[in-house]
Amino acid sequence: MVAILRIDAWRGGNTILGIGRLNLQNIFGAILCVAAGVSIGLSIGSDARVRYLAPQTQAKINAFVRLDRVLDIDGRGVFLRLNGYDAEHIGYAARFYYRAVYDLYPRTVLLADPSVVVSNADDVRNADAPPSPSWLAAHGIDRVMTVHYEPNVFQFSAELSKVN
Amino acid sequence: MWCTFYLLCLLLAGLGVAAWAPGPRNGFERFGLAACLGPGIVGLILIAISMLGLAPSRVEILCICLVLIFSGAARLRKFSWRNLRLPALRLDARTGWTILCLVSIVYGLFVAVTSALTGPTLEWDAFAIWQLKAKVLAIHALVPVPDYFRSVGLSYSHLLYPILAPMISAGAHAMTGQINGDKGRAPYLLMYAGMGALIYGYVRTQRGHIPAISCTALLMTLPALLQFAGSGTAEMALTAFFAASVVCILRWQQNRRLGDLALAAFFSICMGWTKNEGLALGAINALVVLLLTPLPLVRRNLAAAVAFAAIFVAACVPWLIYVHDLPHTDEDYIHRLRPSQIAAGGRYLPLVLKSLFAEFVNWSDWEIFWLIPVALAAYPFRVRQTRMIVTLWVLIALQLLAYIPPYLVTPWDLGVLLPMTLSRLLLHLAPAAALLIGLQWPRSSI
């Protein structure tokens, strides 16, 4: 920044950092430019650090790629059973459910009876009820995916079974 | 390829409509206007057709875009790419500063392109809410009401949220023919670029190149904006529509041409159809037009301001009617915002205000962006474009005030909700702050 502003000083002279004559207005202008430059630089640095340098970012992308691969399944509809998630980790289970609904739409993904309201992670925890095969068939479900809580592996492992 | 073609169609449709916008506007402002107008108008038309029973399709989108392009074709001849040129650059501080800002803007564009066009949808409310709705709208028409809107098991996806942003994404799915692709995020890239061009073009007309490129670079590199630019949520759309509406309101105040007011009303309608917050932002726009129009008691100005408010309300009503009979299982702020409930939530006010203030100086989201307009307000030699400056501050103040009551009545835990949402709410206001920076930038800076 200062180097750039010095170019003007070299060309003109009698200036402060190449900005103009030494007065309050010009000093304020110079401070503003430096502040804006610093803000822009810090913004880019902050974004680049999170986006390209933080190991968590690549881990997050890999986790979603893996999740999408797990959810790349055939069939008409899926019932999710969430196994072993306590109150602290239920958010991971909720996100699994949200992702499953998004990946598999327009196919049906259920956690419980369709009349049960699922607005947040607590509802996801309360909604996990094992259905009977006839109930599954009546709701157009031909797959059951059991999701187990597993620390440090994106908090899940999943197994798929076909409903006969 | 179809995705690129869709973006081109949206841009050309926007240019067709923007050709009717009153001039003089430089090429950047007209391009920016087109990049925000195109997705908005095509999205709203697709919603209207969907309410008549037809889901979006490639043919439908092409027909809409062709009509819009031809509507302004005769006037488009006046548009010249030469208007998009930067000023001549010489070896001086201005050039150095310009290059710095341009590099920053190119970084922002690179981030937006890569996050919008590559990889899976990562932002959780992008796939849980907005892009899920996009799939629903791409497959089903709004009439008969799709099962999705009655599926209380999907309440987490905010069944009753407005649908303009998902419909714009649904257009990408319809155009590419891939419902399961991740191309629904692509249109927001256009809006990101358009918003930048619009801010630059407008401020350049008012204050010259250096203030314009400075405030544009400050805005377009904000970490909070880069996080959402290509994420697939509705934040980018709402922010871009708000930016466009504010620029049109400022133009109306300067020139009092009805075309500018009509555009401001259109963008306010788009905001109302994009998010619930957009309803508040649009209503505030109407209030500001009503209160801060020059010579407000002159019959023509008063009538125009009242028409603005009436058109905004009338255009947002169809969605409220559509969702009226659907299950209200999620937040449902519209019904919660009663004086008794707001008063009952008054004990949370100190926490909300404290968190709001803390967000303004949250370096990881904003660096010192919000401090710059405050510093400029205290600048003793600022430019005396008083009405525009006052309008922008009033917009920011009213919007901050409007965001407080929902926090007082929310069913969610504020300790979780505030950190999750405050950066988004301030993001919607960021274009107004960028305009404040540009319009008050001292001439003596470089």
Q: Which two tokens stand for residue B237?
A: 């759309």
Determine the average pLDDT of the residues in B334-362: 88
Phi then psi for A110, rounded to 5 degrees? -125, 150
| Distance to chain B for A144, nearest Cα, Å | 17
Residues A30 and A87 grouped into a single domain: no
B430 contact residues in A (CB cutoff 8 A): none
Q: What is the pLDDT of residue B79?
A: 58
Would the pLDDT of B10 be above 90?
yes
A/B interface, count of CB pairs below 8 Å: 165
Give me the domain span that covers residue A17. 2-53
Q: Which of residues 42-71 of A touch B (CB under 8 A)?
A: 42-44, 46-48, 50-51, 60-61, 64-65, 68
> Is A11 in contact with B92 (Cβ distance < 8 A)?
yes
Q: Which of residues 6-45 of A touch B (CB under 8 A)?
A: 7-8, 11, 18-20, 24-26, 28-30, 32-33, 35-40, 42-44
Residues A156 and A82 grouped into a single domain: yes
> Is B136 in contact with A105 (Cβ distance < 8 A)?
yes
A33 contact residues in B (CB cutoff 8 A): 97, 214, 445-446
Does residue A128 fall inside a structural domain?
A: yes
Local confidence band at B444 (pLDDT 50, 70, 90 cut-offs) = low
Q: Say which range, B172-181, B239-248, B398-407, has the weakest mean pLDDT.
A: B172-181
B104 contact residues in A (CB cutoff 8 A): 40, 43-44
Residues A73 and A49 grouped into a single domain: no
Question: In this structure, which amino acid lies at residue B142?
Answer: L
Q: What is the pLDDT of residue B233?
A: 94
Using a CB–CB cutoff of 8 Å, tell me whether A90 touches chain B: no
Would the pLDDT of B12 be above 90?
yes
Q: What is the pLDDT of residues B364-378, one digit of tens each?
A: 888 889 999 988 887
Q: For A37, which of B100, B179, B363 is closest by C-beta distance?
A: B100
Does residue B97 fall inside a structural domain?
A: no
Local confidence band at A140 (pLDDT 50, 70, 90 cut-offs) = confident
Does residue A58 fall inside a structural domain?
A: no
> Is A8 in contact with B155 (Cβ distance < 8 A)?
no
Radius of gyration, CA atoms only, chain B = 21
Q: What is the pLDDT of residue B310?
A: 92
Does residue A62 fall inside a structural domain?
A: no
Q: Say which range, A65-69, B216-220, B291-295, B442-446, has the weakest mean pLDDT.
A: B442-446
A60 contact residues in B (CB cutoff 8 A): 122
Q: What is the pLDDT of residue A91?
A: 84
Residue B417 CB-density burial (10 A; 0-12 exposed, 13-18 middle, 19+ buried): middle
How many folded domains does chain A comprise? 2
Q: For A18, which of B93, B104, B437 is closest by C-beta distance?
A: B93
Q: What is the pLDDT of residue B228?
A: 93
Contact present, B241 and B233 (Cβ < 8 Å): no
Q: What is the pLDDT of residue A142?
A: 87
Contact present, B14 and B183 (Cβ < 8 Å): no
Q: Say which range, B13-17, B24-28, B287-291, has the weakest mean pLDDT.
A: B24-28
Q: What is the pLDDT of residue A55?
A: 80
Residues A147 and A92 grouped into a single domain: yes
Q: What is the pLDDT of residue B52?
A: 95
Does residue A64 fall inside a structural domain?
A: no
Determine the average pLDDT of the residues in B416-420: 88
Give chain B's mean pLDDT.
89
Residues A158 and A78 grouped into a single domain: yes
List CB contacts of B228: < 8 A, sequence separation 6 or more.
Answer: B123, B235, B236, B239, B424, B427
> Is B363 in contact with A42 (Cβ distance < 8 A)?
yes
Does residue B82 fall inside a structural domain?
A: no
Q: Give the separation between CA B319 and CA B98, rounded to whole angstroms.
A: 44
Q: What is the pLDDT of residue B82?
A: 57
Determine the average pLDDT of the residues in B96-105: 93
Would the pLDDT of B149 be above 90?
yes
Give me the domain span that covers residue B364. 2-75+102-440
Contact present, A40 and B217 (Cβ < 8 Å): yes
Would the pLDDT of A153 be above 70?
no
> Is A68 in contact with B104 (Cβ distance < 8 A)?
no
Local confidence band at A6 (pLDDT 50, 70, 90 cut-offs) = very low
Contact present, B59 and B177 (Cβ < 8 Å): no
Determine the average pLDDT of the residues in B93-115: 92
Does residue B432 fall inside a structural domain?
A: yes
Q: What is the pLDDT of residue A11?
A: 44
Q: For A118, which of B153, B217, B363 is closest by C-beta distance?
A: B153
Q: What is the pLDDT of residue A7?
A: 45
Phi then psi for B22, rounded to 5 degrees? -65, 140
Q: Give the separation between CA B244 and CA B263, rounded to whole angstroms.
A: 8
Residues A13 and A93 grouped into a single domain: no
Q: What is the pLDDT of residue A10?
A: 43
Residues A89 and A43 grouped into a single domain: no
How is residue B150 annotated by DSSP?
A: G
Does residue B349 fall inside a structural domain?
A: yes
Q: Which two tokens stand for residue B332?
A: 């449902």
Does residue A48 fall inside a structural domain?
A: yes
A43 contact residues in B (CB cutoff 8 A): 104, 218, 221-223, 226, 367, 369
Which residue of chain B comes nearest to A111, CA vs CA? Answer: B153
A50 contact residues in B (CB cutoff 8 A): 223
Residues A46 and A105 grouped into a single domain: no
Q: What is the pLDDT of residues B55-85, one digit of tens each?
A: 999 999 999 999 999 887 777 665 555 566 6
Would the pLDDT of B191 be above 90?
yes
Q: For A25, which of B139, B227, B444 is closest by C-beta distance?
A: B444
Determine the average pLDDT of the residues in B395-419: 90
Residues A37 and A95 grouped into a single domain: no
B180 contact residues in A (CB cutoff 8 A): 103
Does residue A123 fall inside a structural domain?
A: yes
Would the pLDDT of B92 be above 70?
yes
Question: Residue holding tokens 């191309």?
Answer: B183
Q: Which residues of B271-310 are buried (b: 16+ CB within 10 A; e: fewer)?
A: bbbbbbbbbbbbbbbbbbbbebbeeeeeeebeebbebbbe
A98 contact residues in B (CB cutoff 8 A): 124, 127-128, 156-157
ipTM for the assembly: 0.88
Q: Which two tokens stand for residue B194?
A: 């358009």
Residues A77 and A36 grouped into a single domain: no
Does residue B201 fall inside a structural domain?
A: yes
Using a CB–CB cutoff of 8 Å, tell me whether A80 touches chain B: no
Q: What is the pLDDT of residues A21-66, one digit of tens each?
A: 566 777 777 888 888 999 999 999 988 988 888 887 887 788 788 8
Q: Which residues of B110-139 are buried (b: 16+ CB within 10 A; e: fewer)?
A: ebbbebbbeeebbbbbbbbbbbbbbbbbbb
Local confidence band at A113 (pLDDT 50, 70, 90 cut-offs) = confident
Q: Give the separation between CA B53 and CA B37, rounded to whole angstroms.
A: 24
> Is A65 in contact with B96 (Cβ distance < 8 A)?
no
Residues A39 and A77 grouped into a single domain: no
Does residue B160 fall inside a structural domain?
A: yes
Q: Give the separation between CA B45 and CA B178, rounded to whole angstroms.
A: 21
Q: What is the pLDDT of residue B89?
A: 64
**Percent of residues, chain B, with pLDDT higher than 90:** 63
Does residue A106 fall inside a structural domain?
A: yes
Would the pLDDT of B380 be above 70?
no
| Distance to chain B for A123, nearest Cα, Å | 9
How many folded domains does chain B comprise? 1
Determine the average pLDDT of the residues in B195-200: 96
| A143-148 and A157-162 beta bridge pairing | antiparallel
Does residue B8 fall inside a structural domain?
A: yes
Residues A46 and A73 grouped into a single domain: no
Most confident of A15-19, B194-198, B204-208: B194-198
